Amino acid sequence: MNKVVIFGGSGGLGKQISERLQSDMYVESLSSKDVDVTNFDEVKDFFHNNDVVVDSIINLSGYNHNMMLHKYENHNSIDVKRQLEVNIEGNLNILANCLPTMREKKFGRIILISSVLSSKPVAGTGVYSGCKAFIDNLVKTCSVENLHYGITSNSIQLGYFDGGMTYDIPEKIREDFKGSIPLNRWGKIIELENTIRYLLKTEYVSGTSIKINGGLDF
């Protein structure tokens, strides 16, 4: 039996998406305690020891720590390193270990989560927005290398949703962001779910970044 594996599926948006997809799909939802995406060997062991074929992966793992560039010093380098490990190395580890089987099967669906900040960064998000821009280009390269094997690779540029990292933002700033969204509301989980379901089904969309942002343009 084939299945969808969701990394970062234990909290926030990941948990909600996992529960919704489980209504009609075989879904395995993983937390960082189940598989640490920053650990290559853990990711490798998961795919190699899995007795069920994984034909679709969704990576909702992410880490953000706001920091003004002029305030960067050695003492906060641990937060910078963590962002690079989770947002860049984590995605590389997943792709390196899921692609061989997908190429052998000649089928696969890869969905990585990016952000509107990848193309429209705001103050304090230099590292995070750079990581998300990396993800957008990573799926393009992955598509070039693997689409002829029946594997699609796409990213979703999330705007501000009712859940997840949105609630890590201070309340006043959060309300200012909400007011800048043309629809004047947070994104709904059903809107993310519908986009994911579309990307899991289609074979003619690959190497692209889909924006779900309520028309937001900074």
Domain containing residue 84: CATH number: 3.40.50.720
Instruction: Give the number of other CB atoms < 10 A from CB of residue 109.
Output: 22
pLDDT at 166: 59
> Could you tell me the maximum CA-CA distance found in the chain, to the nearest angstrom?
52
CB 72 within 8 A of CB 116: no
Would residue 149 count as lying in a domain?
A: yes
Would residue 217 count as lying in a domain?
A: no
Would residue 187 count as lying in a domain?
A: yes
Would residue 139 count as lying in a domain?
A: yes
Would residue 17 count as lying in a domain?
A: yes
What are the structure tokens assigned to 70, written together? 């002029």
Task: List CB contacts of 103: < 8 A, sequence separation 6 or more.
Answer: 146, 149, 151
- To the nearest 5 percent, what fractions of the chain are helix, strand and coil? 50, 15, 35
What are the structure tokens assigned to 128, written together? 């995070």
CB 98 within 8 A of CB 119: no
CB 96 within 8 A of CB 143: no
From first to last of its 218 residues, the chain has per-residue pLDDT tens of 569 999 999 878 899 999 999 989 999 999 999 999 999 999 999 999 877 789 999 999 987 777 777 777 766 688 888 989 999 999 999 999 999 999 999 999 999 999 888 887 778 788 888 999 999 999 999 999 999 999 999 999 998 887 666 556 666 666 777 777 888 888 899 999 999 999 999 999 999 999 998 887 65
Instruction: Give the number of other CB atoms < 10 A from CB of residue 147.
Output: 15
Would residue 140 count as lying in a domain?
A: yes
Between CA 127 and CA 81 the distance in angstroms is: 10
Q: Quick one: which of 39, 15, 218 has its CA closest to 129?
A: 218
Give the total number of structural domains in the chain. 1
CB-based burial, 122-146: b 16+ in 10 Å, e otherwise:
eeebbbbbbbbbbbbebbbebbeeb
Between CA 19 and CA 4 the distance in angstroms is: 12
Q: Could you list the residue range(s) of the whole structural domain that residue 53 is in?
A: 3-212
